[in-house]
Amino acid sequence: MATEKAMFAGGCFWCLVKPFDKQEGIKRVLSGYSGGHKANPTYEEVCLDLTGHYEVVEIEYDPDVFPYEKIVEIFWQLIDPTDDGGQFYDRGSSYRTAIFYNSDEQKRIAEKSKAELQASGKFSKNIVTPILPAKEFYLAEEYHQNYYRKNPAHYERYAIGSGRVAFQEQHWGNKDERK
């Protein structure tokens, strides 16, 4: 079984792990940093906007079981793709959204999906999430990995308190499948 990797930035990386982690065909979801100019950044450096990195998740998946198109579809439902200043209560460059592609095929799929979402009229503002070539992935500190499992009560409060869950429910329906 050959696996592939996908990388996405959608604000706080904690909130991008659980929705993918529970899907059949997803082998692992790692929290980390990418898109910046400093090797091996720390969480503190990224949060202080010292490195240019985004908070990202790297998803390893079996494309025969869970195709990239489906991953991109879920990603759109986890973010506000019209906000270029961060996500929900999290503001700053490290919390911006982006799709990082690893191949021409991933780029084609992501661009097509973005165009379809824009044309759908689901959002009154333009879709601003960029589609960028993948850069090196740096693994985040261990305490960030699978945060929703390690700290379920705090994770739940954060997902709701940040405004993410309400936004998802308003635009996509059933919030329990995404938080």
Question: What is the assigned CATH class of domain 4-177?
Answer: alpha beta
Active site residue 12: yes
Q: What is the pLDDT of residue 22?
A: 86
- For residue 55, give the 3-state DSSP assignment: strand
Q: pLDDT at position 175, please?
A: 52
Phi, psi for residue 128 in degrees, rounded to 5: -110, 0
What are the structure tokens assigned to 97, written together? 């959204």
Which residue among the candidates 6, 7, 9, 12 is catalytic per the annotation? 12
Confidence (pLDDT) at 176? 54
Q: Closest Cα to residue 93, out of 16, 35, 173? A: 35
* pLDDT at residue 173 is higher than 90: no
Q: Quote the CA–CA distance of 179 and 175 in Å, as a whole number.
A: 6
